[in-house]
Structure 1
Amino acid sequence: MHKYVFFFLFVFSFTKLIAQDNPFIRLVELTKPVNTVTKAKQFIIGSTCKTCLLTINENKVKVYSTGAFAYEINLNPGDTSFLVKATNAAEKTVTKTIGFSYALPKPVEAVKTLGIESIQTYPEGNLILNTGDKIQFKVKAYPGCNVSAINGAVLYELPTSVTKGMAGIYQGEYIIKATDSFAAKKIPIAISKDGQLVVVETKNTFAILNPLSSDVCITKGRLAHLLYGLGDDRLGGAKIGYIDSMIPLKIIGKVGGNYKVQLAPYKTAYIPDDVVTLAPKGTFAGSALTERWQVFGDSVYDYVAVGLTSKLPYQSVQEIEPSKIVVDVFGATNNTNWITQLQTCKEIKNVTYEQIQDGVFRITIFLNHKQLWGHSVYYKGNLLIIKIKQQPQNLALKNLTFAVDAGHGGSNTGAGGPTGASEKEITLALSLKLQQALQKEGAKVIMTRVVEKFVDNKERILIYRDNTPDLLISIHLNSSADPINVGGTSSMYKYIGFKNLSSSIHKRMLELGLKEYGNIGAFNFMLNSPTEYPNALVETLFLSNPAEEELVLNPVFQDKMIAKILLGIKDFLGDVARDK
């Protein structure tokens, strides 16, 4: 009898609990009553009560165990509304109407009257130029006219066969002459026809490098870095690499906030103006002779010390098969007749050099082991030091130091999920679990953060430069504007010598049955940029995807992911040990 009473009370309590699970609808994107959009494909994303039935315009929508949902729609031109309805087990209902206003993009038309619709200049941005520099112009204007730029430089109307049928596209260029002299000038673009003239100025300003101004800048701080060019994305421009402070660089121009510098006769680069100071006029930069070398080691590192008559910029790269580190010193001319290599070296097998072109001196360092364990380049006076991490003698976890980086934090919230889950909180939870797993194996672990707080990425790099770990793992979650069709696990690396760490982890993560998003190289993420130690960015799952959000919010599945990351690390170390 008692068991029937218990069963009745259980069913009554459960039914009451469900009835109290009040329905709600919480949208995370496109939350306005009417949303103006420019694409037909849209998504309604959000959350409701975990036990609710959800419909959108009477179509049943899957509700995940977290309460998340995502619904794909394809709009027709015009105004469309959708009724979102959530109903709980007690048949209590709430609704929310969301509207879309979608218009097909207007067809691009030629300019109808004498005038200029748009002006583009390349490179983009405010420029400081030097003799021989080139400004390129692309102008959309009234077809069949005469169009010119600075000093009458002609812009030519392109045939419609190369402009996708659009008439009135004019292009041309102007090369700066030694006689040019102007400062912060907007360049007038003139269009004329049948005696009528219209002039429109460029948006950006242009100036000639003043011969009386400083033409040398000096690197400063600990994060000075050279850029290949002016390309940019959400991760920043592609970096040549970090360079030491107090290195003079020859300025030959400026684009926006980046100085253009001459590294060698046939090699230029860019450097942000906030990591340099201008030197007094008359300061020298750009050339030096190489002197004698010394190659030696201590208990942890090997060193190549190259004498120079002055500090010069440089670039280092990793190569594999065979493993080596190549350093190009810009502005250097060979005068080396003496290289001393001591038996204290454990990682360096051999060193060679080559004057590959005028002003580019190449140092090649061949290594004893297949796996690269990190290197750094810096100056001690005028002595260029290339510091190379020796392979640890014992590769057991208990003998190694790991850096575990919890992505984002504080005001940098990172990605968000349909339920409102925050990347910064999940990465912290996962990182603490990885810390515990590594410490259980006896490893020493350095953490970027162990509480919810903001840590700037630049600060993270300096923390680990000062506390050099053997390996770094950065934990993140991915995100996409498409919450239904895009998902999966991925890992990232920047340098080829560090690829194996990320690929080993990635292979293990796929054992969880996750969709593959890839093992991605040359990734321009700041925590992948250090050369001092192997590092891997693990983008565990897409938080924007409700199915993957459901997984990553599950503590049991979190434990499974951490176990796979740990196995991936062990696989990497095991492969290294076998290649000794």
Structure 2
Amino acid sequence: MNKIAVSLICLVANNAFCQNTDKPFIKLVQPSRKTNAVSWSNSFIIGSTCKTCTVTVNEKSVKVYPTGAFAVELNLRPGDTSFTIIASLANKTVNKKLAYTYTLPKPPEPVKDLSIENIETWPEGNLILMTGDKIKFRVKALTNCVVKAMGDTRLYELPVNQTKGMPGIYQGEYIVKATDSFTVMKIPVSVTDSLNSSFTKETKQVFSILSPLASDIAITKGRLAHLEYGLGDDRLGGAKIGYIDSNIVLKIIGKAGSHFKVQLSKSRTAYIPDDLVTLMPKGTFTPESLTTKWNVYGENQYDYVKVGLFARLPYQSYQATDPSTIVVDIFGATNNTNWITQLQTAKEIAKVDYQQVEDDLFRITITLKHAQHWGHLIYYYDNTLVIKIKHQPENLSLKNLVIAVDAGHGGTNTGAVGATGIYEKELTLALSLKLQKAFEKEGARVIMTRTKEQFFDNKERILFYRDSLPDLLLSIHLNSSEDPFRASGTSTYYRYIGFKNLSLDIYKRMLELGLKEYGNTGSFNFMLNSPTEYPNALVETLFLSNLEEETKILDENFQEQMVEKIVLGVKDFLKESK
């Protein structure tokens, strides 16, 4: 690493990589405690010592990597196990003792008396419902009984071959009726045995019917309002349909947990977090509009498609290739367009067309002149929907472009940690600074998320680049796994098919470093992959958790090679786009 990067890392992390001591030490990153109660047999001891030290665990030699990192895989047996780690150099030794208590998880048991062990409902969370909505029940209770929800809705016991051998699992659905009028309530579930004895338990979740007097119209707020397809969730959040503008009118038809359910068209629904909308007074009009005249023209670096509407309706867009097109669906819109004014100033748009897919779903198709998508943005000007499409740059060389380099994590968001104790945030910054220098050497103008150790929320990053409008964005990260030996490799990520080639070209170049394939992944729901305004790629350079790959990334020469491959990948992308 260069002196600045090394100084930064050593100052912040004080990790083994920076310590050129001739004294043995033991610094563990896993486990973090001396005594550990676990319910799984497989685990790891991961840490570091001085680079010239030897390490034993329970008198067995352990490989020490050139960085001082070491790791041991444990296969525990039920009961108590102790481990003594000894680091030695010459006649000096230090030791550290760890204790594990491995307890086999208790196998699930059937319910043995007239009772209900648990009640699960879907959709999860507290619900606000409308006629026709379903509530799904899964109940664990005494076997061979009659189980009912809502008083008379029968739930049926599943055969044990569908429940992993567990008797007493009952399932069923309740469909909300027009005559239902329950307000906020927990739903009772009863179990009755052959002697007609019964037991009743209520759901943890609360249910209610959307009142005819309640507000059922909301408008979006903020610059990052987004719609989600459903209620699924993982570490990247729910799958997003896409970001939409502020003050867009939405029809509310229910709520699940913290998400409003909205009706986009007769055949489409979506969800939106409740903190992204403002409820409107009862009597606010349902979102719908006729389309009016269109204008298609270009100026400077962008073409524009402007579609007149009478209300700010929700929309979604997606990219297609072969041919390169942008498709925009406007929900609640009905065609009344009798002419489309098109000017020759449009440089990127080859043609525009539309289709009334359903009574309340209007589709715009924009065919582009170039095969490569360079980005688009959708917003409203008053009630006019504006689709802003970026021209392909006239000169596809780095010296003519603005490149955004995002150093992942930072500040309190440390990211992954290697065996030496170095944090992902430190290495992403070191790599990004080198990448900045490499791109600037090629003549590019580089925009950086951060050039020092500080925290930036991902939403701040998106808005910063929305305002800066780079030609390309690269987000630099390192991957991680609990397994320090097997999980390894390089990977790149994209969300939109029109931006795939950028990530793929970088990925191909990264593989030239001899790194294992971990894949070029599409439809990735990472926030820095979510903008449609410019091609973007997430680069997970390698696995910081892997001891071999940590050794590589801590080597300055390897960092330089990695940066060189990323730059070459971007050049390949630009060459293919001509």
Q: Verify the 8 A CA contact 1:31 1:98 in the aligned structure 2.
A: no
Residue 285 to residue 106, structure 1, CA distance change in 2 (3 Å): same
Answer yes or no: is 1:323 the counterpart of 2:324: yes
Contact kept in structure 1, 2:226 and 2:243, CA below 8 Å: yes
Match of 1:434 in 2: 435
Corresponding position of 2:357: 356
Which letter does structure 1 place at the counterpart of 2:424? Answer: E
**2:523 matched to which residue of 1?**
522
Q: What is the letter of the counterpart of residue 426 of structure 1?
A: L
Q: Which amino acid aligns with 2:165?
A: G
Q: Secondary structure at the match of 1:295?
A: strand
CA shift digits 1:220-273 (9 cap, x unpaired): 110010000000011110000001111110000001111000000110000111
2:147 and 2:196 map into 1 onto residues whose CA distance is 13
Secondary structure at the aligned position of 1:124 is classed as: coil
Which amino acid in structure 2 is aligned with residue 125 of structure 1?
G
Q: Give 1:448's aligned amino acid.
A: T
Paired with 1:298 and 1:151, the residues of 2 have a C-alpha distance of 66
1:425 deviates by: 1.0
Work out the percentage of aligned pairs sharing the same amino acid: 65
Determine helix, strand or coil for the equivalent of 1:340: strand
Specify the SS of the correspondent of 1:337.
coil
Match of 2:15 in 1: none
* Pairing 1:76-475 to 2, within 5 Å after superposition: 76-88=77-89, 90-193=90-193, 194-475=195-476
Residues 378-400 of structure 1: CA distance to partner in whole angstroms, max 9, x if unpaired? 11111111111110000111110
The residue aligned with 2:11 is: none
Q: TM-score, normalised to structure 2's length?
A: 0.95
1:37 matched to 2:41? The reply is: no
1:472-496 CA distances to partner (integer Å, 9 max, x unpaired)? 0000011101111101111110001
Deviation at 1:19, TM superposition (A): 12
In structure 2, give the amino acid aligned to 1:58: E
| Equivalent residue letter for 1:108 | P
Amino acid corresponding to residue 265 of structure 1 in structure 2? K
SS of the counterpart of 2:238? Answer: coil
Q: What do the CA deviations read for 1:53-97 (whole angstroms, capped 9, x no partner)?
A: 111122211111111111112122222222211111x22111222
CA distance in 2, matches of 1:536, 1:33: 41
Q: CA deviation at 1:199?
A: 1.3
Q: Which has the higher contact order (CA 8 A, sep 6+)?
A: 2
2 CA distance for matches of 1:160 and 1:286? 48
Cα deviation for residue 161 of structure 1 reads 2.3
| Structure 2 Cα separation of the partners of residues 233 and 32 of structure 1 | 28
- Looking at structure 1, the residues matched to 181 and 53 of structure 2 have their Cα atoms a distance apart, in angstroms, of 72
CA–CA separation in structure 1 for the residues paired with 2:175 and 2:66: 64
Q: How many residues align?
A: 559
- For 2:432, the aligned partner's letter is S
Indicate if the aligned counterparts of 1:36 and 1:102 stay in contact, CA closer than 8 A: yes
Partners in 1 of 2:29 and 2:403 — Cα distance? 36
Map Cα deviations across residues 352-371 of structure 1 (whole Å, 9 max, x no partner).
Answer: 11111221111000010000
1:183 Cα deviation (Å)?
2.7
Say whether 1:512 aligns with 2:513.
Answer: yes
The amino acid that maps onto 2:419 is P
Which residue in the other structure is 1:12 paired with? none
Query: Are the equivalent residues in 1 in contact too, given 2:21–2:50 (CA < 8 A)?
Result: no
Please list every run of 5 or more consecutive structure 2 residues that lacks an aligned counterpart in the other structure: 1-18
Which residue in 1 is equivalent to 2:483?
482
Q: Tell whether the 8 Å contact from 2:20 to 2:50 is kept in structure 1 after alignment.
A: no
TM-score (norm: length of structure 1): 0.95
Aligned-residue CA RMSD in angstroms? 1.3
Q: Contact conserved, 2:20 with 2:51, CA < 8 A, in 1?
A: no
Hey, what does 2:14 align to over in structure 1?
none
Residues 117 and 140 of structure 2 are in contact (CA less than 8 Å); yes or no, is this contact kept in structure 1? Answer: yes
Shift of 1:107: 2.0
1:150 to partner: Cα distance: 1.0
Change (3 A) 1:525 1:19: closer
Once the two structures are TM-superposed, the CA of residue 20 in structure 1 deviates from its matched residue by: 6.2
Task: Tell whether the 8 Å contact from 1:348 to 1:366 is kept in structure 2 after alignment.
Answer: yes
Secondary structure in 2 matching 1:503: helix
CA distance in 1, matches of 2:575, 2:33: 54
What is the SS of the residue equivalent to 2:105?
coil
Q: CA deviation at 1:411?
A: 0.8
> How many Å separate the matches in 2 of 1:33 and 1:416?
19
Larger mean CA deviation between 179-188 and 444-453 belongs to 179-188
Task: Tell me, yes or no, if the aligned pair for 1:301 and 1:388 is still in contact at 8 Å.
Answer: yes
1:500-559 Cα shifts (integer Å, max 9, x gaps) = 001111111111111111111111100000000000000011111111111111122111
1:110-160 per-residue CA deviation (whole Å, 9 max, x = no partner) reads 111111111110000111111111100000111011111113211111111
Structure 1: stretches of 5+ with no match in the other structure: 1-17
Deviation of 1:467 (Å) = 0.7
Cα 1:94–1:286 change in 2 (3 A) is: same
- What letter is aligned with 1:134? K
Distance, in Å, in 1 between the alignment partners of 2:167 and 2:151 is 25
Secondary structure, counterpart of 1:310 in structure 2: coil
For 1:151 and 1:371, the matched residues in 2 are separated by 59
Measured in 1, the distance between the counterparts of 2:286 and 2:563 equals: 50
Residues 264 and 286 in structure 1, CA contact (< 8 A), matched pair in contact too: no
CA contact (8 A) 2:151 2:188 kept: no
Q: Is the 8 A contact 2:151 2:189 kept in 1?
A: no
Distance 2:431 2:21 in 1: 32
Q: Distance in 2 between matches of 1:159 and 1:359?
A: 44
2:3 is aligned to none
* CA drift at 1:337: 1.4
**Is the 8 Å Cα contact of residues 187 and 207 (structure 2) preserved in structure 1?**
yes
Looking at structure 2, the residues matched to 557 and 164 of structure 1 have their Cα atoms a distance apart, in angstroms, of 50
Aligned counterparts of 2:20 and 2:425: Cα–Cα separation in 1: 33
Deviations 1:316-357 (A, max 9, x none): 000001110000110111111101111111110011111112
Letter in 1 for 2:129: L
Match of 2:4 in 1: none
Match of 1:203, SS state, is coil
1:8 corresponds in structure 2 to none
- In the aligned structure 2, how far is the partner of 1:269 from the partner of 1:574? 40
